[in-house]
Amino acid sequence: MQHTEKHLKSSDFITDTVIGMSDGLTVPFALAAGLSGAVSSNMIVITAGIAEIVAGCIAMGLGGYLAGKTEQEHYQSEYNREVMEVETVPEREKEEIKEIFAEYGFDEEGQTLLANQLAKDKTKWVNFMMKFELGLEEPNPNRARNSALTIGLAYFVGGLLPLTAYFFTSTPREGLLVSALITTICLFIFGYFKSKLTGQSPWIGGLKVTATGLVAAAAAYFVAVSFDKIFN
């Protein structure tokens, strides 16, 4: 059990980092790229980029927090429903146990034994139904907070990297070139290690992540330039 829990926690952390870093490396970069095609001052690009990072970092962190809380409350409301069902319709719940076990090839005798033994302790019965009928694990109570911090920080770090290019260049066009170079490298490294952690081919994973970032940036650039041409 110790091993399993550890495993699941590390997977949560990786998922959160991937969520924050994917967007962090992509959105501020793509926004800056889009603006680079439409404005003439690096200062505006940087100001917009920083406003975006702050906004995205807080919004995504809080988004992760809310998602974690929702998961927790969902578990709790399902739990309460199971408690009520075990209290009010125990025979129907016993039939449910038997049906579930029948699917795994248990015979009538095994099913009945299982249902009767489980029914002896209502708390264990409910825990059993949660895990087995509904496939729900009790969420880590710190999940929401950890999720918020991990996603927010990953977004912040990922977002700042592409923006640095505009500090050291004099026009948005130059900034965009350097930024695209930095970001392409970062996206590939990120995709490479992400894929390695999740047991996929790191080279293909790196290319996929890089491509998605560049697609988002190209789309933002195209839309911003078109918009600027139409209205100016």
Q: How far apart are CA 166 and CA 147, in angstroms?
A: 30
Picking from 26, 45, 40, the residue whose alpha carbon sits closest to that of residue 164 is 45
By CB under 8 A, tell whether 62 contacts a copy of itself: yes
On whether the CB atoms of residues 85 and 97 are closer than 8 A, the answer is: no
Q: Nearest distance from residue 161's CB to a copy of itself, in Å?
A: 15
By CB under 8 A, tell whether 231 contacts a copy of itself: yes
57 Rama class: left (phi>0) / alpha (psi -120 to 50) / beta: alpha
- Candidate segments 3-11, 85-93, 169-177, 179-187, binder of a copy of itself by CB under 8 A: 3-11
Look up residue 216 and give its two tokens. 């988002």
| Contacting residues for 132 by C-beta, under 8 A, at least 6 apart | 100
- Rule CB under 8 A: choose which of 70, 173, 185, 203 binds a copy of itself: 70
- Give the interface size with a copy of itself as a residue count (CB under 8 A): 84
By CB under 8 A, tell whether 220 contacts a copy of itself: yes
- Rule CB under 8 A: choose which of 6, 77, 173, 204 binds a copy of itself: 77
By CB under 8 A, tell whether 229 contacts a copy of itself: no
On whether the CB atoms of residues 186 and 162 are closer than 8 A, the answer is: yes
- Candidate segments 13-21, 84-92, 139-147, 174-182, binder of a copy of itself by CB under 8 A: 13-21
Q: Nearest distance from residue 174's CB to a copy of itself, in Å?
A: 18
Task: Tell the burial category of 49 from Cβ atoms under 10 Å away from its Cβ (0-12, 13-18, 19+).
Answer: buried
Query: Which parts of 94-133 interact with a copy of itself (CB under 8 A)?
Result: 103-107, 110, 113-114, 117-118, 120-121, 124-125, 127-128, 131-133
Q: Is 74 helix (H, G, I), strand (E, B) or coil?
A: helix
By CB under 8 A, tell whether 199 contacts a copy of itself: yes
